[in-house]
Amino acid sequence: MTAGAVHPTVAVLERHLTLYRRLWQASVFSSFVLPVLFLISIGIGVGRYVGSIQDVDYLSWIVPGVLASTAFQIAIAESTFSVLGDFKWVRGYHAMRATPVRPADMIGGHLLYLVFRVEGAVLAFLLVVVFFGGLHSPWALVTPLVCALLTVAAAAPVTAFAASIDHDSYFALLFRFVVIPSTLFAGVFFPVEQLPAVVRPVAYVSPLWHAVELCRAATLGRAPAWPVAAHAGYLLACSAVGVFLAVRAFHRRLED
């Protein structure tokens, strides 16, 4: 390798960043403004009626939930149309396929880009939250790491899905039956223990719930529902399976 040479995965990341530099304005509202609006309207508005929950004020309780769910939303939204589009309309993956870039590099570059996007939103959100007094423990510093893990755990399987379908109408099913339920029942705005026992497994399979639990444990400085290793292990497992499925889907789609 000569000076300035680059790994194909990084080259793919750079392409996403170059595109983002041109299109970033479109995502400012959903990535940076919306989470804060959520926090203000629900945290303060609803919080006034709720008072405190599990011994902390409601706003502090939902901060980690809104944080993780912001990461979750970005990870999924950016792995649907843009992935399918690079197969169907832009054919950017076909262009890469003609070069030394391999499917694993395409997926790696995509996920690194999403982590970058998520971390931007996460850090901005944490900065705002500090002024609301929403962080109660120095462990809050690990939340960006948890959000990075959640990003991969959520984005990788969705990327595999997007690479396997032929029409964007399938995304409506994904949002209706997977994303919305797993957001609603993931302990973002209320503890999953409030749910009837039959619904609770929906939370347990959602990667978002595991990330919310870890983030909440970090920002409030207490232990999560399950052992940390179990939550982190579940997120790692989702990531590994997702990446495996995505690599396979990309190979199939680009092969013949």
Footprint on this chain of another protein (rule: CB under 8 A) = 1-8, 10-12, 14-15, 18-19, 22-23, 90-92, 94-102, 254-256
The residue (of 48 and 94) whose beta carbon lies closer to another protein is 94
The residue (of 14 and 168) whose beta carbon lies closer to another protein is 14
56 phi and psi angles, rounded to 5 deg: -130, 160
Q: Minimum CB separation from another protein for residue 247, in Å?
A: 14
Q: Closest by alpha carbon to 93, among 15, 7, 171?
A: 15
Q: Minimum CB separation from another protein for residue 251, in Å?
A: 11
The residue (of 2 and 169) whose beta carbon lies closer to another protein is 2
The residue (of 88 and 200) whose beta carbon lies closer to another protein is 88
Q: Minimum CB separation from another protein for residue 49, in Å?
A: 46
Alpha-carbon gap, residue 256 to 242, rounded angstroms: 22
Alpha-carbon gap, residue 25 to 217, rounded angstroms: 33
187 in helix, strand or coil? coil
From residue 166, give the alpha-carbon distance in Å to each of 211, 226, 240. 31, 39, 24
Alpha-carbon gap, residue 56 to 78, rounded angstroms: 34
**Which helix or strand (DSSP H or E) is residue 57 part of?**
strand 56-57
Q: Minimum CB separation from another protein for residue 2, in Å?
A: 7
The residue (of 89 and 244) whose beta carbon lies closer to another protein is 89
191 in helix, strand or coil? coil
Q: Minimum CB separation from another protein for residue 164, in Å?
A: 19
